[in-house]
Structure formats: structure tokens, C-alpha cells
Structure 1
Amino acid sequence: MAAVREALPEGRYGRSQDERADRKLKIIGSVLGVAFLAMVGWFGYDYVAGQDISAEVIKSRIVSDGLAEAHLEVRKEQDADGHCTLRALSEDGGEVGRADFRFDERTGRIDEVVSLRTTSRATAVELKGCAAGG
């Protein structure tokens, strides 16, 4: 009795339909992956390059009912000047004090403790943002 063959001989009639589909999916996936990485790189560069000044509040301390202090660290280009805005918040989240702190030192990093006068007791100090220039 002769054996009945169910499938075509391997490699005899070219690639199967599944192999062609797999290859197309791999190519499409690779192209989309490279495009996605390029887009993430572009947005990342644009975000970092667009920020001349970055800052953070290292810690804050409530001195009294009318005064709060914040340890502010600013990183910038050496010849850049600008200002950072801090605000003091009450227990319910309302603003009880706000101040702009200007800097024009010719260093790349400023590490300073600043004081904010408040209208009532603050519970936290928040950095609103920093901007270059006047």
C-alpha cells in the first residue's frame, strides 16, 4: 500500500502563504517600531532642549504663621537668568503666599534657601514653575 502524502514537499513550491504573511508582519512591525522610537526621541529632545531652566524644591519648612522657607535648587545654563515662582499652601490647599525669586548668578547651579511671607499658617510650599529672562 502506498503512503498518502498530506502536505506538499518542503521547499519545492516556494514559500507558503503563512511564511509570506509572517515576513510582511515582521517588516511592518520593524518599521513601526523604528518610527515610534524616532518619535519618542524627537519629543524627548524637544522637551529637554526647550527647557532653559529646571528647578525643584528639595525640602520646605514652616517657620511661623506668617513665614515659610523652601530649599530651592535651580539648574540652568551659566549665562541664563530668570525667575522661579513658589507658593505656600494652607491645609485645605488654598494659596496663602506667593513669591517670585529672581536669579542672575553666572553659575550652572543655584542652591538656596528662600523665604515666603504668608497670610496665614502654611502646610506646604510648591514650585509653580521657572522661566528664563525677565
Structure 2
Amino acid sequence: MDHSPTPRTPAAPPAGRYSRTDDRAADRKLRIAAVVCGVLFLGLIAWLGGSYLLRETKLNGTVPTFQAVSDTELQLQLSVRKSDGTAGVCTVRSQGADGAVVGQSDFQVPAAGSSYVEVVTLRTTARGTTAELLGCTPGKK
């Protein structure tokens, strides 16, 4: 009789007891798909919100150029895109070299036309080094 040990193969785990690697891969793919869908959903919400806000803003203004003509005056170009028939007010300020506000004023935007471009003069208490549009608000109807 031969008493040599016979090689045994390890017993397989019971079926369904442990997660298979295929299940892990499927779970990972589902997580990635969920993250991608979440990011796309947030992007859609941001885009819709931004387009709503831009559509609702009746006056969109900029100050493309400005020039300090003296220590007490700043000339600037005020450019406003707007809905035809919408009047309003745009507020512009200037700061000095030290960052202090040296001038601030409201400029009326007439209702006629869909755009308004005008060179306006801002009075300052010292030489202005900036011209900043703080915002435009539609007039009350």
C-alpha cells in the first residue's frame, strides 16, 4: 500500500458567498457612469441658470476705454447693450493710485435704441487710475 500524500486542490468558496471580480468591475462602471451623469446634470443646471440671468438682465454695460484728462476729471466710454425701450442708470467709479475711491457717479441711459455708446466725464477728487462699471439697473416703469 502506498501511503504517500495525495495532492489536494483547494476547495472553491461556496457559490454566491463572495463577490466576484466581474461584479466589482460592473459596480465600478456604474459608479463612473453615475459621476459622469451627475457632472452633466450640474453643468446643465449652471448653463440654464446663467442663460436665465443673462436674459433677465435688461442692461449690460462695459467701460472699454478711459483716460484721465486732469487731476479732477476722467473721460470714459460707456457702452450699454439693452432691450429697445429700456431706460436705466449705470454707476461708474474711479480709484486713485492708492486704491481709494476718488469719484463715483450715475449716468442716465436713454430708452431709445438697443445700444448706447457715449463718452462721459467723471469728476474726481484726485487723479483717477481706474474706471470701473459697478452696474446698470433698469429704470422704474
TM-score by length of 1: 0.78
Per-residue CA distance 1:36-86 (angstroms, 9 max, x = gap): 222122221232123111111111001112111001110110111101011
RMSD of aligned residue pairs (Cα, Å): 2.2
Check if 1:102 corresponds to 2:137: no
Structure 2 match to 1:16: 22
Structure 1 match to 2:73: 67
* Residue 26 of structure 1, CA deviation: 4.3
Structure 1 match to 2:18: none
Per-residue CA distance 1:78-123 (angstroms, 9 max, x = gap): 1111010111211111111111100124211111100011122222
* Residue 27 of structure 1, CA deviation: 3.8
Find the structure with the greater CA-based Rg: 2
Structure 1 match to 2:84: 78
- Which of the numbers 33, 38, 49 marks the counterpart of 1:43? 49
Which structure shows the bigger proportion of residues in strand conformation? 1
Structure 1: distance between partners of 2:120 and 2:82:
18
Structure 2 match to 1:29: 35
Unaligned runs of 5+ in 2: 1-8, 10-20
TM-score by length of 2: 0.75
Structure 2: distance between partners of 1:74 and 1:109:
6
Per-residue CA distance 1:2-26 (angstroms, 9 max, x = gap): xx9xxxxxxxxxx921343144224
Tell me the number of residue pairs that the alignment of Structure 1 and Structure 2 aligns.
Answer: 122
Structure 2: distance between partners of 1:30 and 1:118:
53
Identity among equivalent positions (%) equals: 27
Decide which moves more: 22-31 or 75-84.
22-31
> Following TM superposition, where does structure 1 have runs of at least 4 consecutive aligned residues deviating by more than 4 angstroms?
none
- Whichever residue aligns with residue 92 of structure 2, its letter is L
SS of corresponding position for 1:124: coil
Check if 1:123 corresponds to 2:129: yes
Decide which moves more: 77-86 or 20-29.
20-29
